[in-house]
């Protein structure tokens, strides 16, 4: 039995009667599940820290894949991307105009001024945690640095806004979109955050564009990612038809992304990936 769900079931029903969209039982994690997801988060963070120490100009994105793969395995964990729906590597590495789902390659060499997203998802004892960071290689141009900074702010503003039984998923999208637009940027719509913990991608879908006061009610026990992809130019994107995975900006301008897994608590939320 899901005790966490049983405890709040009646309160959820009240909101449902008032026509709110409310989470399902599976979206409310038990204490035990949350402990497991947090343990996966600790390893996931250690991996991103290890990348931070090692990433530099002259490395290939495949070198990052090897580092992440070996570190994960040596800590008794599994890299979730490997073989996920046919994804061929253990981590996503997305450089400059690549929005997300970059496939590590020996041919893609990092150079001074690049902005790089490394997106790590770790399975530990059956539980999943998912987070990504941006890394700046050497000295980047002002516009690149600003995009990276503002995208991080978008994530932080959304996380800090979460008040259980009050905030709705649409509020998060509204906050992210408003902050990005204020800085002259656009937000990717086709890919979003997601429930996470027992699988890599669970419901609900967490859009990074939204309207205040709409969407699912956020309540304690929910575990999901927020992972805004913010573009310097147009929001439009396309998928690499050769590998079927990597997403690029349509106009070739820069894109940045930061991601955390969060657990909603009684009085706010906890980032479990830092
Ligand atoms: N980590 C990505 C996310 O944030 C998912 C990667 S799926 C993969 O949702 F197959 F590309 F690895
Ligand atoms: Co991710
Ligand atoms: Co994710």
Structure confidence by residue, pLDDT tens digits, 173-200: 999 999 999 999 999 999 999 999 999 9
Nearest alpha carbon, ligand 1 atom 2 = 119
pLDDT category, 134, cuts 50, 70, 90? very high
| Residue 64, pLDDT above cutoff 90 | yes
CATH number at residue 34: 3.90.230.10
pLDDT category, 119, cuts 50, 70, 90? very high
Three-state secondary structure readout of the chain:
CCHHHHHHHHHHHHHHHCCCCCCCHHHCCCHHHHHHHHHHHHHHHHHHHHHHHHCCCCCEHHHHHHHHHHHHHHCCCEECCCCHHHCCCCCEEEECCEEECCCCCCCCECCCCCEEEEEEEEEECCEEEEEEEEEECCCCCHHHHHHHHHHHHHHHHHHHCCCCCCCEHHHHHHHHHHHHHHCCCEECCCCCEEECCCCCCEEEEECCCCCCCCCCECCCCCEEEECCEEECCCCCEEECCCCCCCEEECCCCCEEECEEEEEECCCCEEECCC
Ligand 1 centre and the CA of 87: distance in Å?
9
Give me the number of domains the chain comprises: 1
- Ligand 1: which of 84, 93, 133 to mutate, most ligand atoms within 8 Å of CB? 84
Mean pLDDT value of segment 35-60: 99
| Residue 32, pLDDT above cutoff 90 | yes
Looking from the CA of residue 85, the nearest atom of ligand 1 is 10
Q: Which pLDDT tens digit goes with each residue over 151-167?
A: 999 999 999 999 999 99
| Residue 1, pLDDT above cutoff 90 | no
* Average pLDDT across the chain, whole number: 98
Supply the range of the domain harboring residue 8: 3-271
pTM, two decimals, is 0.98
């Amino acid at each position: 039995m899901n005790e966490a769900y049983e405890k709040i079931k009646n309160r959820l029903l009240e909101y449902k009667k008032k026509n709110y969209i409310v989470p399902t039982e599976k979206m409310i994690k038990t204490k035990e599940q949350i402990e497991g997801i947090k343990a996966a988060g600790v390893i996931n963070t250690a991996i991103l820290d290890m990348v931070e120490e090692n990433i530099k100009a002259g490395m290939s994105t495949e070198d990052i894949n090897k580092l992440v793969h070996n570190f994960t395995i040596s800590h008794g964990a599994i890299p979730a991307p490997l073989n996920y729906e046919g994804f061929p590597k253990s981590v996503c590495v997305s450089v400059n105009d690549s929005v997300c789902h970059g496939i590590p390659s020996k041919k893609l060499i990092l150079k001074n001024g690049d902005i790089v997203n490394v997106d790590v998802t770790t399975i530990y004892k059956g539980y999943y945690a998912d987070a990504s960071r941006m890394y700046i290689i050497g000295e980047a141009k002002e516009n690149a640095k600003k995009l990276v900074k503002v995208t991080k702010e978008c994530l932080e503003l959304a996380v800090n806004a979460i008040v259980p039984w009050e905030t709705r998923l649409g509020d998060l999208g509204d906050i992210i979109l408003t902050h990005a637009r204020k800085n002259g940027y656009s937000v990717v719509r086709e890919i979003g955050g997601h429930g996470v913990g027992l699988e890599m991608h669970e419901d609900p879908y967490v859009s990074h564009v939204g309207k205040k006061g709409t969407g699912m009610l956020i309540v304690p026990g929910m575990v999901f990612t927020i992972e805004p992809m913010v573009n310097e130019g147009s929001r439009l994107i396309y998928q690499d038809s050769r590998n079927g995975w990597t997403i690029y900006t349509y106009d070739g301008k820069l894109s940045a992304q930061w991601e955390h897994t969060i657990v909603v608590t009684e009085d706010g939320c906890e980032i479990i990936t830092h």
